[in-house]
Amino acid sequence: MPRLPVCALMLFALLTFQPALGQHRRKPVSGAKPRANPILRTLLGGMGSGQYSADTVRVLLQGGLGSVDQFSQTYPVVYFEFGLQSPDTSFNDSTGMPQPIEDYVSFPFFSNHLDTLWLPRVIAGLAPGDTLYFDHIIALDRAKKIRYGSPPMKITVR
């Protein structure tokens, strides 16, 4: 048997099994409690999802978005995606008649509230039948190190 393949095989085995032998499991720290993720709920201006009048929604939008856990501890929101769905009409070329459609616009925000460009336009355009969506909400813990996903929120204007 040639000597080169045997040496190559032994070198391969040595390099392959060496990292596996160096690994070991950590022992759990005694007395440390496992940290449980908080159960969050999303609030806009202190109110949850639901149906509100246009005037109430205008006030809520100025309050900003927040997250609260089951122990009423607050978590600051650092990111969310806002969507506005409103009923509209469009001219149907085939029938020659107006047809009801849903208009949807959305934008991501890296804060806990709508910016100065969006807020006045959304407030001015609110009408019954509009639906506001707050999705992909990210909240930070008090130490501002851990990011948590907060549940989405839906507000319907009545």
Predicted local distance difference test score (pLDDT) of residue 21: 54
pLDDT on residue 2: 57
User: Both tokens of residue 118?
Assistant: 């969006």
Instruction: Tell me the pLDDT of the chain (158 aa) as tens digits.
Output: 556 677 777 777 767 765 555 566 777 666 666 667 899 999 999 999 999 999 999 999 999 999 999 999 999 999 999 999 999 999 999 999 999 999 999 999 999 999 999 999 999 999 999 999 999 999 998 888 889 999 999 999 99
Longest dimension (CA), the chain: 89
| 25 within a domain of the structure (yes/no) | no
The pLDDT assigned to 5 comes to 77
Residue 76 lies inside a defined structural domain of this protein: yes
Per DSSP, the residues of 87-137 read EEEEE-TTTSSEEEEEEEEEEEESSSS--TTHHHHHHHH--TT-EEEEEEE
- Residue 56 located in a structural domain: yes
Total count of domains within the chain: 1
Residue 26 counted as domain residue: no
User: Does residue 71 fall inside a structural domain?
Assistant: yes
- Inside any domain, residue 5: no
What pLDDT was estimated at residue 3?
61
**Is 134 a member of any domain?**
yes
Residue 147 lies in a domain: yes
Residue-range definition of the domain harbouring residue 96: 41-157
